[in-house]
Structures are given as C-alpha cells and as structure tokens.
C-alpha cells in the first residue's frame, strides 16, 4: 500500500490497542484502514483496559482542544500517546495551530510533531511530559 503520507512515522506497531474517538462521517476511511493495517487489528471505541494510542479526530467545531485531550487521556496507558487528527489548513473545520499547542499545555501534555497523513487531514503526536508522570 505505497502511501506518500507520514503515517508510518507516528509509531504504530502490530498488536497495539488503538482507541478511536471523534469519528464522524467526514473522516478519511482509507486513513482509518491504514492505521488498522499497521496495528494488525481494529480500532476500538470503548476501552476495557489502558490503550496504547488514542486516535482523536478533532474539528474546530468539536469543542476545546484541551477538553478533547483530557477526555482522550482517560483510557490512555502511562506510556501511551495521543494522535490528534485535524483537518488541514484551508479545509472545513481547521483547528488553529496555536490552539493545538495551548490545548496540549492545558491538558498537561506535550505537542511533539505534526505529520501529513492524508489529502485532507494532518496528525499531531501528543505525549505525556518526560519525567512528569502523574500518580
């Protein structure tokens, strides 16, 4: 599936448990399938245990970035990360880049890198601060 996106740079591995939040009928189904191919399984909606990755679709009208990240952290394992997927600049629902970093800070997380993952969507890897684990 020779893709020209950066999806493979996000750190997905076969066997990881990925929780998907924020799905709506505007998501990129090909992108979802690529993620499931990388983890060799389906993404889940409801977690029964700590998940390795939360895949969070977020648009400007979905609400506050920090609130979305706090909700996403609920089922996230201590060493897991969040992939915040937002419409690219110029697409409907684009989230202001300043809101992304501010939202991550407010949620106690760190915005690391952003990647182009499809024609209409970009992904932002968000992690817990190093050495800043909460008990």
**Other Cβ atoms within 10 Å of 118 Cβ, number:** 18
Confidence of residue 6 (pLDDT cuts 50, 70, 90): confident
Give pLDDT tens digits for 79-94. Answer: 999 999 999 999 999 9
Q: Are the C-beta atoms of residues 94 and 131 closer than 8 Å to each other?
A: no
Bridge partner residues of 83 (DSSP): 55, 125
Q: Above 80 in pLDDT, residue 1?
A: no
pTM: 0.91
Sequence spans of domains, the chain: 11-127
11-127 under CATH 3.40.190.10, yes or no: no
Averaged pLDDT, 90-102: 95
Q: Above 80 in pLDDT, residue 5?
A: no
Q: Are the C-beta atoms of residues 125 and 96 closer than 8 Å to each other?
A: no
Least confidently predicted of 3-7, 49-53, 55-59, 108-112: 3-7
Q: In the Cβ-directed half-sphere of 40, how many Cα atoms lie within 13 Å?
A: 4
List of residues 6+ apart from 33 with CB closer than 8 A: none
């Amino acid at each position: 599936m020779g893709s020209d996106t950066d999806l493979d740079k996000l750190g997905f591995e076969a066997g990881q448990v990925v929780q998907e939040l924020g799905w709506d009928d505007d998501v990129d189904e090909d992108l979802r399938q690529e993620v499931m191919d990388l983890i060799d399984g389906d993404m889940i909606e409801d977690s029964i245990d700590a998940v390795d990755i939360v895949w969070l679709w977020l648009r400007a009208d979905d609400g506050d970035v920090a609130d979305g990240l706090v909700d996403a952290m609920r089922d996230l394992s201590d060493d897991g990360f969040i992939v915040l997927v937002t419409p690219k600049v110029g697409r409907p629902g684009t989230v202001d880049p300043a809101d992304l970093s501010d939202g991550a800070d407010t949620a106690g997380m760190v915005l690391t890198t952003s990647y182009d993952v499809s024609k209409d969507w970009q992904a932002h890897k968000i992690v817990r601060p190093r050495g800043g684990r909460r008990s």
